[in-house]
Protein backbone atom coordinates (compact mmCIF):
# COMPACT_ATOMS: atom_id res chain seq x y z
CA UNK A 1 0.00 0.00 0.00
CA UNK A 2 2.87 2.36 0.80
CA UNK A 3 4.28 1.75 -2.69
CA UNK A 4 0.91 2.66 -4.22
CA UNK A 5 0.76 5.88 -2.20
CA UNK A 6 4.25 6.81 -3.38
CA UNK A 7 3.16 6.20 -6.99
CA UNK A 8 0.04 8.30 -6.46
CA UNK A 9 2.05 11.11 -4.91
CA UNK A 10 4.51 11.02 -7.82
CA UNK A 11 1.78 11.33 -10.47
CA UNK A 12 0.02 14.13 -8.59
CA UNK A 13 3.33 15.95 -8.06
CA UNK A 14 4.09 15.70 -11.78
CA UNK A 15 0.66 17.10 -12.62
CA UNK A 16 0.98 19.97 -10.14
CA UNK A 17 4.41 20.91 -11.48
CA UNK A 18 2.98 20.89 -14.99
CA UNK A 19 0.07 23.15 -13.99
CA UNK A 20 1.99 25.71 -11.96
CA UNK A 21 5.15 25.75 -14.11
CA UNK A 22 3.13 27.17 -17.01
CA UNK A 23 0.62 29.06 -14.83
CA UNK A 24 0.44 31.87 -17.38
CA UNK A 25 -1.16 29.37 -19.77
CA UNK A 26 -3.15 27.24 -17.31
CA UNK A 27 -4.47 29.70 -14.72
CA UNK A 28 -4.37 33.24 -16.10
CA UNK A 29 -6.38 32.92 -19.39
CA UNK A 30 -9.54 31.41 -17.80
CA UNK A 31 -9.46 34.04 -15.05
CA UNK A 32 -9.25 36.83 -17.64
CA UNK A 33 -12.09 35.25 -19.64
CA UNK A 34 -14.35 34.97 -16.60
CA UNK A 35 -13.47 38.53 -15.58
CA UNK A 36 -14.81 39.69 -18.95
CA UNK A 37 -18.00 37.71 -18.27
CA UNK A 38 -18.41 39.56 -14.98
CA UNK A 39 -17.83 42.91 -16.65
CA UNK A 40 -20.07 42.35 -19.67
CA UNK A 41 -22.89 40.19 -18.30
CA UNK A 42 -22.71 41.42 -14.74
CA UNK A 43 -21.88 45.10 -14.76
CA UNK A 44 -22.98 46.22 -18.24
CA UNK A 45 -25.99 44.00 -18.95
CA UNK A 46 -26.82 42.90 -15.41
CA UNK A 47 -27.26 46.46 -14.17
CA UNK A 48 -30.14 46.83 -16.63
CA UNK A 49 -31.92 43.67 -15.51
CA UNK A 50 -34.24 43.15 -12.58
CA UNK A 51 -33.41 40.95 -9.62
CA UNK A 52 -33.84 37.19 -9.80
CA UNK A 53 -35.61 36.29 -6.59
CA UNK A 54 -34.05 38.18 -3.71
CA UNK A 55 -30.71 38.69 -5.42
CA UNK A 56 -29.26 40.99 -8.04
CA UNK A 57 -28.46 39.54 -11.43
CA UNK A 58 -24.73 39.81 -10.68
CA UNK A 59 -25.11 37.86 -7.43
CA UNK A 60 -27.20 35.23 -9.22
CA UNK A 61 -24.74 34.50 -12.04
CA UNK A 62 -21.56 34.63 -9.92
CA UNK A 63 -21.79 31.03 -8.57
CA UNK A 64 -22.61 29.78 -12.07
CA UNK A 65 -19.57 31.51 -13.57
CA UNK A 66 -17.34 30.06 -10.85
CA UNK A 67 -18.67 26.57 -11.49
CA UNK A 68 -18.31 27.02 -15.25
CA UNK A 69 -14.60 27.74 -14.79
CA UNK A 70 -14.21 24.65 -12.59
CA UNK A 71 -15.95 22.41 -15.14
CA UNK A 72 -14.02 23.56 -18.20
CA UNK A 73 -10.59 23.58 -16.56
CA UNK A 74 -10.97 20.25 -14.74
CA UNK A 75 -11.89 18.60 -18.02
CA UNK A 76 -9.28 20.40 -20.12
CA UNK A 77 -6.37 19.60 -17.82
CA UNK A 78 -6.99 15.86 -17.61
CA UNK A 79 -7.69 15.30 -21.29
CA UNK A 80 -4.65 17.31 -22.43
CA UNK A 81 -2.31 15.81 -19.83
CA UNK A 82 -3.26 12.18 -20.47
CA UNK A 83 -3.23 12.56 -24.25
CA UNK A 84 0.17 14.26 -24.08
CA UNK A 85 1.45 11.27 -22.10
CA UNK A 86 0.10 8.98 -24.83
CA UNK A 87 1.52 11.13 -27.62
CA UNK A 88 4.99 11.21 -26.03
CA UNK A 89 4.64 7.48 -25.29
CA UNK A 90 5.66 7.85 -21.65
CA UNK A 91 2.30 6.46 -20.52
CA UNK A 92 3.62 3.04 -21.57
CA UNK A 93 6.26 3.15 -18.83
CA UNK A 94 3.54 3.77 -16.27
CA UNK A 95 1.28 1.02 -17.59
CA UNK A 96 3.99 -1.66 -17.53
CA UNK A 97 5.01 -0.71 -13.99
CA UNK A 98 3.40 -2.34 -10.92
CA UNK A 99 1.27 0.79 -10.50
CA UNK A 100 -2.45 -0.23 -10.31
CA UNK A 101 -4.87 1.36 -12.74
CA UNK A 102 -6.82 3.03 -9.94
CA UNK A 103 -3.67 4.90 -8.89
CA UNK A 104 -3.09 6.10 -12.46
CA UNK A 105 -6.69 7.29 -12.81
CA UNK A 106 -6.73 8.96 -9.41
CA UNK A 107 -3.37 10.66 -10.04
CA UNK A 108 -4.43 12.28 -13.31
CA UNK A 109 -7.87 13.15 -11.93
CA UNK A 110 -6.35 14.86 -8.89
CA UNK A 111 -4.28 16.95 -11.29
CA UNK A 112 -7.43 17.99 -13.15
CA UNK A 113 -9.16 18.81 -9.88
CA UNK A 114 -6.18 20.88 -8.74
CA UNK A 115 -6.36 23.06 -11.83
CA UNK A 116 -10.15 23.30 -11.86
CA UNK A 117 -10.45 24.23 -8.20
CA UNK A 118 -7.48 26.62 -8.38
CA UNK A 119 -9.09 28.49 -11.26
CA UNK A 120 -12.44 28.41 -9.44
CA UNK A 121 -10.79 29.92 -6.35
CA UNK A 122 -9.16 32.68 -8.40
CA UNK A 123 -12.44 33.44 -10.17
CA UNK A 124 -14.15 33.58 -6.77
CA UNK A 125 -11.64 36.22 -5.67
CA UNK A 126 -12.30 38.18 -8.86
CA UNK A 127 -16.07 37.97 -8.26
CA UNK A 128 -15.61 39.74 -4.93
CA UNK A 129 -14.52 42.83 -6.87
CA UNK A 130 -17.94 42.99 -8.50
CA UNK A 131 -20.32 41.54 -5.92
CA UNK A 132 -20.45 40.46 -2.31
CA UNK A 133 -21.49 36.81 -2.17
CA UNK A 134 -23.24 35.52 0.96
CA UNK A 135 -22.52 31.96 2.09
CA UNK A 136 -25.70 30.07 2.93
CA UNK A 137 -24.25 26.57 3.35
CA UNK A 138 -20.47 26.25 2.90
CA UNK A 139 -20.29 22.41 3.20
CA UNK A 140 -22.82 22.05 0.34
CA UNK A 141 -20.91 24.49 -1.86
CA UNK A 142 -17.59 22.74 -1.18
CA UNK A 143 -19.10 19.28 -1.73
CA UNK A 144 -20.64 20.27 -5.06
CA UNK A 145 -17.52 21.96 -6.40
CA UNK A 146 -15.27 19.03 -5.45
CA UNK A 147 -17.59 16.36 -6.85
CA UNK A 148 -18.20 18.34 -10.04
CA UNK A 149 -14.47 18.80 -10.55
CA UNK A 150 -13.98 15.07 -9.90
CA UNK A 151 -16.65 14.08 -12.42
CA UNK A 152 -15.34 16.29 -15.22
CA UNK A 153 -11.75 15.28 -14.57
CA UNK A 154 -12.85 11.65 -14.99
CA UNK A 155 -14.75 12.56 -18.16
CA UNK A 156 -11.67 14.34 -19.49
CA UNK A 157 -9.57 11.24 -18.93
CA UNK A 158 -12.03 9.12 -20.92
CA UNK A 159 -11.71 11.63 -23.76
CA UNK A 160 -7.92 11.42 -23.44
CA UNK A 161 -8.02 7.62 -23.60
CA UNK A 162 -10.06 7.58 -26.81
CA UNK A 163 -8.33 10.54 -28.49
CA UNK A 164 -6.06 9.60 -31.40
CA UNK A 165 -4.93 13.10 -32.41
CA UNK A 166 -4.82 16.55 -30.85
CA UNK A 167 -7.99 17.61 -32.65
CA UNK A 168 -9.93 14.91 -30.78
CA UNK A 169 -9.37 16.53 -27.39
CA UNK A 170 -11.33 19.65 -28.37
CA UNK A 171 -14.41 18.01 -29.92
CA UNK A 172 -16.25 17.17 -26.69
CA UNK A 173 -15.53 20.51 -24.95
CA UNK A 174 -16.62 22.45 -28.05
CA UNK A 175 -19.72 20.53 -29.06
CA UNK A 176 -20.91 19.02 -25.77
CA UNK A 177 -19.62 20.70 -22.62
CA UNK A 178 -19.81 24.33 -23.77
CA UNK A 179 -23.45 24.12 -25.01
CA UNK A 180 -24.56 22.18 -21.92
CA UNK A 181 -22.83 24.73 -19.66
CA UNK A 182 -24.41 27.74 -21.34
CA UNK A 183 -27.80 25.99 -21.18
CA UNK A 184 -27.16 24.88 -17.60
CA UNK A 185 -28.63 27.89 -15.84
CA UNK A 186 -25.46 29.94 -15.50
CA UNK A 187 -27.06 33.13 -16.82
CA UNK A 188 -30.71 32.49 -16.00
CA UNK A 189 -33.07 30.62 -13.72
CA UNK A 190 -34.81 27.72 -15.43
CA UNK A 191 -37.93 28.63 -13.44
CA UNK A 192 -38.32 31.58 -15.83
CA UNK A 193 -38.59 29.26 -18.83
CA UNK A 194 -41.82 27.84 -20.28
CA UNK A 195 -42.82 24.51 -18.78
CA UNK A 196 -41.61 22.53 -21.81
CA UNK A 197 -38.12 24.04 -21.70
CA UNK A 198 -37.96 23.59 -17.95
CA UNK A 199 -38.50 19.88 -18.51
CA UNK A 200 -35.82 19.80 -21.22
CA UNK A 201 -33.39 21.68 -18.98
CA UNK A 202 -33.80 19.11 -16.22
CA UNK A 203 -32.26 16.54 -18.58
CA UNK A 204 -29.03 18.57 -18.50
CA UNK A 205 -26.84 17.28 -15.63
CA UNK A 206 -24.93 20.58 -15.44
CA UNK A 207 -28.16 22.28 -14.29
CA UNK A 208 -28.01 20.21 -11.09
CA UNK A 209 -24.35 20.96 -10.50
CA UNK A 210 -24.68 24.71 -10.95
CA UNK A 211 -27.86 24.96 -8.91
CA UNK A 212 -26.41 22.89 -6.10
CA UNK A 213 -23.37 25.15 -5.95
CA UNK A 214 -25.59 28.25 -6.14
CA UNK A 215 -27.64 26.92 -3.24
CA UNK A 216 -24.48 26.77 -1.15
CA UNK A 217 -24.03 30.52 -1.61
CA UNK A 218 -27.51 31.98 -2.03
CA UNK A 219 -29.76 29.35 -0.51
CA UNK A 220 -31.84 29.19 -3.67
CA UNK A 221 -32.05 26.45 -6.28
CA UNK A 222 -34.26 25.48 -9.21
CA UNK A 223 -33.83 21.78 -8.44
CA UNK A 224 -33.70 19.50 -5.44
CA UNK A 225 -30.16 19.75 -4.08
CA UNK A 226 -30.16 16.14 -2.86
CA UNK A 227 -31.11 14.90 -6.32
CA UNK A 228 -28.14 16.79 -7.71
CA UNK A 229 -25.81 15.35 -5.07
CA UNK A 230 -27.04 11.81 -5.76
CA UNK A 231 -26.48 12.34 -9.48
CA UNK A 232 -22.92 13.53 -8.88
CA UNK A 233 -22.11 10.50 -6.74
CA UNK A 234 -23.56 8.20 -9.41
CA UNK A 235 -21.52 9.85 -12.18
CA UNK A 236 -18.38 9.70 -10.01
CA UNK A 237 -18.68 5.94 -9.50
CA UNK A 238 -19.73 5.23 -13.10
CA UNK A 239 -16.97 7.29 -14.74
CA UNK A 240 -14.26 6.04 -12.38
CA UNK A 241 -15.29 2.44 -13.15
CA UNK A 242 -15.35 3.22 -16.88
CA UNK A 243 -11.79 4.56 -16.74
CA UNK A 244 -10.59 1.44 -14.93
CA UNK A 245 -12.23 -0.83 -17.50
CA UNK A 246 -10.78 1.13 -20.45
CA UNK A 247 -7.25 1.04 -19.02
CA UNK A 248 -7.54 -2.66 -18.21
CA UNK A 249 -8.61 -3.42 -21.79
CA UNK A 250 -5.86 -1.19 -23.15
CA UNK A 251 -8.24 0.98 -25.14
CA UNK A 252 -6.26 3.80 -26.74
CA UNK A 253 -3.06 2.83 -24.92
CA UNK A 254 -1.98 -0.35 -26.71
CA UNK A 255 -0.98 -0.37 -30.35
User: Rounded to whole angstroms, how far apart are CA atoms 120 and 31?
Assistant: 8
Considering only residues 75 and 95, tell me which one the structure prediction assigns the higher pLDDT. 75
pLDDT of residue 93: 82
Question: What is the C-alpha separation between 87 and 96, in angstroms, rounded?
Answer: 16
pLDDT band (50, 70, 90) for residue 72: very high
Measure the CA angle with vertex 162, ends 120 and 167; round to 5°: 70
Q: Would you call 209 helix, strand, or coil by DSSP? A: helix
Helices (H), the chain: 2-21, 23-26, 28-37, 57-87, 91-95, 101-130, 138-162, 168-172, 178-182, 195-201, 205-218, 225-249
Question: By mean pLDDT, which of 46-50, 76-80, 211-215, 220-224 is the weakest?
Answer: 46-50
**Domain spans of the chain, in order of start:** 2-249
pLDDT reported for residue 52:
82
pLDDT at 42 over 80: no
Q: How far is CA 89 from CA 8, 92, 248, in A?
A: 19, 6, 17
Task: Decide if pLDDT at 9 tops 80.
Answer: yes
Q: List Cβ neighbours of 33 (8 Å cut-off, separation of 6 or more).
A: none
HEC-encoded secondary structure of 46-90: HHHCCCECCECHHHHHHHHHHHHHHHHHHHHHHHHHHHHHHHCCC
Half-sphere exposure of 15 (CA within 13 A, CB side): 28
Q: Residue 71: pLDDT band by 50, 70, 90 thresholds?
A: very high
13-27, 39-53, 126-140: segment of lowest average pLDDT: 39-53
The set of residues, in sequence order, having a beta carbon less than 8 Å from that of 176 and lying 6+ positions away, is none
Q: pLDDT value at position 95? A: 80
Cα–Cα distance, 249 to 229 (Å, whole number)? 30
pLDDT at residue 255, rounded to an integer: 58
Question: For the ranges 4-13, 86-95, 100-109, 168-177, which has the lowest average pLDDT?
Answer: 86-95
Give the confidence band of 133 by pLDDT, cuts at 50, 70, 90: confident
Lowest mean pLDDT among 101-110, 158-167, 232-241: 158-167
pLDDT at 53 over 80: no
Model pLDDT for residues 150-192, shown as the tens digit of each residue: 999 999 999 999 998 888 898 999 999 999 998 998 988 898 8
Mean pLDDT, residues 87-114: 90
Q: Please give the share of the chain, as a percent, with pLDDT higher than 90.
A: 63
Summarize the confidence of residues 242-252 as an average pLDDT. 91
DSSP 191: G
Could you tell me which residue, 44 or 228, shows the higher pLDDT? 228
Res 97: pLDDT: 84
Amino acid sequence: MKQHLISLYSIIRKELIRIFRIWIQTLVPPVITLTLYFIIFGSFIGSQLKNIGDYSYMSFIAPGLIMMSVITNSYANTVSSFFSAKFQRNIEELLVSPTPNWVIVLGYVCGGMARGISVGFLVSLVSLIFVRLPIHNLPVAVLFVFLTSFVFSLAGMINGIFAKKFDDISIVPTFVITPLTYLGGVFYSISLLPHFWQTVSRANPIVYMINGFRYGFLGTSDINVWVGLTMLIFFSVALFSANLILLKKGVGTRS
